[in-house]
């Protein structure tokens, strides 16, 4: 699989792409290994080149399936941008081939004004913003479907989810 299939790498010229990839570690992760641990502090972003992963939550009633994702995909970016612990678990369903880059290396490259890293970060931020927009539309849809007694619970959840960005 080519690196250009990653949305995060769009708008990079060949030199910038090579520059960014050279800062990453090429990793192989065996099937069955947990890549991201829910509620633990993330410390790297994975650009999954090949393989399938399972995203799930640990809940009081057991594991809850969120999705199964086939490469290409990016893991760990939310924790990088938010500074929050990982919100879900991710396990390799098949052997994974990925590029991994530590948060510290990303921050150093950004502070040095590296153009390739800035473009990658902007592309990832755009993808996160689009997911947040879709989530906002879903919350708005849920608002219209709720009875008045359930609205306060939904409003509270929205405020927790979106914080100062909440308009609902």
The answer to the question of residue 20 being in a domain is yes
Tens of pLDDT, residue by residue, the chain (168 residues):
578 788 899 999 999 999 999 999 999 999 999 999 999 999 999 999 999 999 999 999 999 999 999 999 999 998 999 899 998 999 999 999 999 999 999 999 999 999 999 999 999 999 888 877 887 787 778 777 766 666 676 666 666 655 655 444
DSSP, res 86: P
The answer to the question of residue 85 being in a domain is yes
The answer to the question of residue 168 being in a domain is no
We report the CATH number of the domain holding residue 71 as 2.60.120.10
Q: Which domain holds residue 100?
A: 3-163
Tally the domains of the chain.
1
The answer to the question of residue 10 being in a domain is yes
The answer to the question of residue 146 being in a domain is yes
Q: Are 66 and 57 in contact (CB under 8 A)?
A: yes
Please give the model's pTM, rounded to 2 decimal places. 0.82
């Amino acid at each position: 699989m080519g690196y250009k299939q990653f949305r995060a790498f769009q708008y990079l010229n060949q030199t910038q792409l090579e520059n960014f990839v050279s800062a990453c570690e090429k990793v192989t992760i065996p099937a069955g290994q947990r890549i991201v641990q829910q509620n633990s502090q993330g410390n790297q972003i994975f650009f999954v080149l090949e393989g399938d992963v399972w995203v799930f939550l640990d809940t009081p009633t057991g594991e809850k399936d969120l999705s199964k994702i086939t490469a290409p995909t990016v893991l760990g970016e939310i924790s990088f941008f938010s500074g929050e612990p990982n919100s879900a678990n991710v396990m390799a369903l098949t052997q994974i081939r990925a590029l991994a880059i530590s948060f510290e290396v990303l921050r150093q490259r950004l502070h040095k004004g590296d153009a390739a890293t800035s473009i990658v970060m902007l592309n990832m931020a755009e993808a996160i913003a689009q997911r947040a927009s879709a989530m906002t539309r879903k919350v708005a849809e849920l608002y219209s479907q709720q009875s008045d007694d359930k609205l306060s619970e939904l409003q509270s959840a929205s405020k927790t989810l979106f914080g100062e960005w909440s308009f609902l």
